[in-house]
Structure 1
Amino acid sequence: MLTIVEKGKDFWLDEEGLGTLEMILIIAVLVAVVVLFRQKIKEVISNLIDTAGEKSQEVFEE
């Protein structure tokens, strides 16, 4: 009976694979943020591309 308790404690304290779990959670949160703010992200990127195009045209026109 004592070995079962010891093995249970060892299993609970084992941190092997914890890095993988953390990475999966971080990726899941990032995916959720992208899904929630998808439209706003598209608008921001589109505005950045438009601004960059306008500025490059100004440089070439001078």
Structure 2
Amino acid sequence: MEKWKEFMAEEDGVGVVEVILILVVLIGLVLIFKEQLTVLVNNIFKTITTESQRV
């Protein structure tokens, strides 16, 4: 019975589960907004290229 109480009180795996859930949410958001993110990144790189040529 004491081992069962120790097992239930142990929280080592909780952090791993939280990290996995956060990663799943982030990957889902990336998949949903993939096209918008691609356009945004391309615009940022175009701006960087244009501004770096001015210098």
Question: Which TM bucket (shorter chain)?
Answer: 0.7 to 0.9
Residue 28 (str. 1) matches residue 27 (str. 2) = no
Q: Deviations over 1:6-55 (max 9, x none)?
A: 83xx3444322000000000100000000000000000000000000000
Gaps of 5+ in 1: none
Equivalent runs, 1:45-56 vs 2, <5 Å = 45-56=41-52
Distance in 1 (alpha carbons) for counterparts of 2:44 and 2:16: 35
* Counterpart code for 1:27: L
TM-score by length of 2: 0.82
**Percent identity for Structure 1 against Structure 2:** 32
Equivalent runs, 1:10-21 vs 2, <5 Å = 10=5, 11-21=7-17
| Counterpart position of 1:37 | 33
Distance in 2 (alpha carbons) for counterparts of 1:35 and 1:12: 36
TM-score by length of 1: 0.74
